[in-house]
Amino acid sequence: MITRMSTLFLRTLREDPADAEVPSHQLLIRAGYIRRAAPGIYSWLPLGYRVLRKVERVVREEMDAIGAQEVHFPALLPREPYEVTGRWTEYGDNLFRLKDRKGGDYLLGPTHEEMFTLLVKDICSSYKSLPLALYQIQTKYRDEARPRAGILRGREFVMKDSYSFDIDDAGLVASYQRHREAYIRIFDRLGLRYVIVAAVSGAMGGSASEEFLADSEVGEDTYVRSPGGYAANVEAVTTLVPAVDVTEHPPAHVEDTPDTPTIDTLVAVSNELHARAGSPWTAADTLKNIVVNLRYPDGSIEPLAIGLPGDREVDLKRLEAGVAPAEVEPFTEADFARNPVLVKGYIGPGVLGADGASGIRYLLDRHVGENSAWITGADQPGRHVFNLVVGRDFKADGWVEAAEILEGDPAPDGSGPLSLARGIEMGHIFQLGRKYADALGLQVLDQSGKRVTVTMGSYGVGVSRAVAAVAENSHDDRGLIWPRELAPADVHLVIAGKGPEITGAAEDLAAALDSAGVRVMLDDRTVSPGVKFTDAELIGVPTIVVVGRGVATGVVECKDRRSGESTEVALSDIVGVLTAMVTR
RNA sequence: CGGGCUGUAGCGCAGCUUGGUAGCGCGCCGCGUUUGGGACGCGGAUGUCGCAGGUUCAAAUCCUGUCAGCCCGACCA
């Protein structure tokens, strides 16, 4: 196929659009791949749509290769199945809801577990139909609180979602493994730099779960890695529980610590008025107790207190992962007013917990070890308790992973210190288990004629997001640089120069390449060469061929977009060279 | 949900303080010259100044409200 730029529906922009911040967003708009239609909603222009379809093709090929079968559900879905699984309410404001003319409730599908489960229930009734894997490439809708970064986080996006159906756990593990390997092939082919990390399964439910994160500073996920090979989303990192403290701590006692509502002031005053022999107090000696509200899907609210070392912040995402499906909300001034035993700035374990005066459930972060001693609030203004010992002087109602993970923290498997990095979630695979099959009654008869509940796996790839992630992973200050597998053309042929010899040679070359199966983007516009070179680099086809003054001596210039290296190739050889390059 | 910034031509922006015929660059159209790194000359078209209300003889400009966009935050007691 020859794409003529003189007639291509394309406008490149000289400057970055004012509302774009991240490189992929800026470049995809400037190079004429996408246009914003509404917040978080984008139109695909010819070049962009080609790239999107190429991502789809890679995904399709690899899904087909593991025997998954493609189906296609509607994006517009009825309420009932989502009501049955509780997600009509659980999804909250993120769900696009609409009514038909009769007042019936519908939604735009944010994900399709329910529909797949019901379809399989409709069709399969015997173990002989299993194992089974189905997938679709579908437009999904989520009314994100804050869409951002162009197509990196949109409210409408294209996702491949697949589901495996097995009779038993061993089957599920095998299906999961097949998908995992297919995903590795997919992301390798997309040319992404990525890591596979342990994850939490979030709103979908289920147990074992891993994420494929494209390495990128603009990513929204923070993950950790250790030298020994441990890798996990920060939400899924488990704390290495401190060894039990065997010290015989002195008895707890209350001290005056005037004007110490914050950890910093508390540490300063402690060292001033109640200095410890040997080593000064630090924030790590303090136990801070924060109170939040948990909002459950049914709308009910429960206050929750968390105790954690004063040198660490609460990581909201980690906490939410631990209290899911509840969401964490701030404890407001009004809440404090209703709980007068909570002395803001001086809250201590004394009033917390099931048997405390507040009755507020109290969980300790995993960093707080058994029998460890702390400075913590005495529940009176300007006073703190010293040497309050876990287990000896107070008990909590349980443990939680709430504190932030810091650079250098030990990996839970002992594989060394953790380093933190950011990534874009490109794929998520997890073993759902029987949550949806139970809720929707998906059972088949086993060999002995007994009804058994099917166990499921769920696997997603962000198809439209992949376009942005690859752009993010692969660009320079001049523009995009597509991997060959995704490029909107194989060769970008620039006609540089005037005259029938040059134009004729370029046209002949384009035709020859076309019949050799090479997809050519031919810049046959009547603009100056500088414009063409700049646009070619912006658009990012991996090979740029310049047909110009060299024609007189029978050569053209062949440039590699990524390295910038340029070689002269004889006109008589160029078709062979390019064909070999493209089909390699 | 809170905070900050921003809405003026297709795109990027100035003008607003101090109210008085709406500008610049790029792009676009025509003619001519140019053609290996965003060429040049001449001529031209394009705006409900986000929206609504108010003040005023007069509002892009001042006031009130509202909508939208972008960024940050979402809790440390």
Question: Per-residue confidence at A202, pLDDT binned at 50, 70, 90?
Answer: low
Residue A165 has pLDDT above 90, yes or no: yes
Rg (CA), chain A: 30
Length of chain A, in residues: 584
Position A461 scores a pLDDT of 94
Task: Name the token pair of A468.
Answer: 């942005």
Partners of A108 in the β-ladder: A76, A96
Q: Quick one: average pLDDT of A39-49?
A: 88
Q: Quick one: average pLDDT of A529-550?
A: 92
Residue A96 has pLDDT above 90, yes or no: no
The Cβ of residue A18 has, within 10 Å, a number of other Cβ atoms equal to 6
pLDDT tens-place string over residues A450-477: 899 999 999 999 999 999 999 999 998 8
Asked if residue A330 keeps its beta carbon closer than 7 A to nucleic acid strand B, the reply is yes
Instruction: Work out whether strand A286-295 and strand A373-377 pair parallel, antiparallel, or are unpaired.
Output: parallel
Distance from residue A15's CA to nucleotide B24's C1', rounded to whole Å = 16
Residues 499-558 of A with CB under 7 A from strand B: 526-531, 533-535, 537-538, 546-550, 557
Question: For residues A179 and A167, what is the distance between their CA atoms, to the nearest angstrom?
Answer: 17
| A250/A452: higher pLDDT | A452
CB A315 within 8 A of CB A405: yes
Asked if residue A290 keeps its beta carbon closer than 7 A to nucleic acid strand B, the reply is yes
Distance from residue A55's CA to nucleotide B28's C1', rounded to whole Å = 35
Question: For residues A94 and A297, what is the distance between their CA atoms, to the nearest angstrom?
Answer: 13
Position A207 scores a pLDDT of 65
Position A201 scores a pLDDT of 62
| A371/A584: higher pLDDT | A371
pLDDT tens-place string over residues A399-412: 888 888 887 788 87
Question: Per-residue confidence at A510, pLDDT binned at 50, 70, 90?
Answer: very high
Question: Per-residue confidence at A285, pLDDT binned at 50, 70, 90?
Answer: confident
Position A206 scores a pLDDT of 53
Q: Quick one: average pLDDT of A373-387?
A: 81
Q: Which bases of strand B have any atom within 7 Å of the beta carbon of a protein residue?
A: 1, 11-13, 25-27, 34-39, 68-77
The proportion of chain A whose per-residue pLDDT surpasses 90, expressed as a percent, equals 31
Question: For residues A90 and A235, what is the distance between their CA atoms, to the nearest angstrom?
Answer: 20
pLDDT tens-place string over residues A112-122: 888 999 898 88
Question: For residues A217 and A473, what is the distance between their CA atoms, to the nearest angstrom?
Answer: 10
Measuring CA to CA, which residue among A322, A135, A299, A182 is closest to residue A238?
A: A322
CB A302 within 8 A of CB A339: no
Produce one character per residue of A130-141: b if its CB has 16 or more CB atoms within 10 Å, e if not.
Answer: bbbbbbbbbebb
Position A130 scores a pLDDT of 87
Distance from residue A530's CA to nucleotide B41's C1', rounded to whole Å = 20
Number of H helices, E strands in chain A: 14, 32
**Amino acid, res. A234:** V
Instruction: Work out whether strand A398-400 and strand A361-365 pair parallel, antiparallel, or are unpaired.
Output: parallel
Question: Per-residue confidence at A523, pLDDT binned at 50, 70, 90?
Answer: very high
pLDDT tens-place string over residues A317-369: 787 777 766 777 777 776 777 777 777 778 877 777 777 777 778 888 887 87
User: Among A353-357, A437-441, A443-447, A510-514, which range has the highest average pLDDT?
Assistant: A510-514
Position A325 scores a pLDDT of 66
Instruction: Give ipTM to 2 decimals.
Output: 0.85
Position A584 scores a pLDDT of 62
Q: Which nucleotide is nearest to A557 (CA to C1')?
A: B36
Helix (H) or strand (E) holding A74: none
Asked if residue A352 keeps its beta carbon closer than 7 A to nucleic acid strand B, the reply is no
Task: Name the token pair of A256.
Answer: 């005056």
CA-based torsion, A181, A182, A184, A185: positive or negative: positive
Residue A547 has pLDDT above 90, yes or no: yes
- Distance between the two ends of chain A, CA-based, in angstroms? 19
Distance from residue A18's CA to nucleotide B7's C1', rounded to whole Å = 12
Position A132 scores a pLDDT of 94
The Cβ of residue A564 has, within 10 Å, a number of other Cβ atoms equal to 11
Residue A15 has pLDDT above 70, yes or no: yes
Task: Name the token pair of A15.
Answer: 């400057």
Residue A204 has pLDDT above 60, yes or no: no
Residue that the structure tokens 């646009």 belong to: A535
Position A403 scores a pLDDT of 81
CA A556 to chain CA centroid, Å, is 44
pLDDT tens-place string over residues A120-150: 888 888 888 889 999 999 999 888 777 778 8
User: A309 Cβ partners below 8 Å, 6+ apart?
Assistant: A283, A284, A286, A287, A288, A365, A367, A368, A403
Q: Which nucleotide is nearest to A293 (CA to C1')?
A: B75
Q: Quick one: average pLDDT of A242-270?
A: 76
Residue that the structure tokens 């007639």 belong to: A7
Question: For residues A202 and A207, what is the distance between their CA atoms, to the nearest angstrom?
Answer: 10
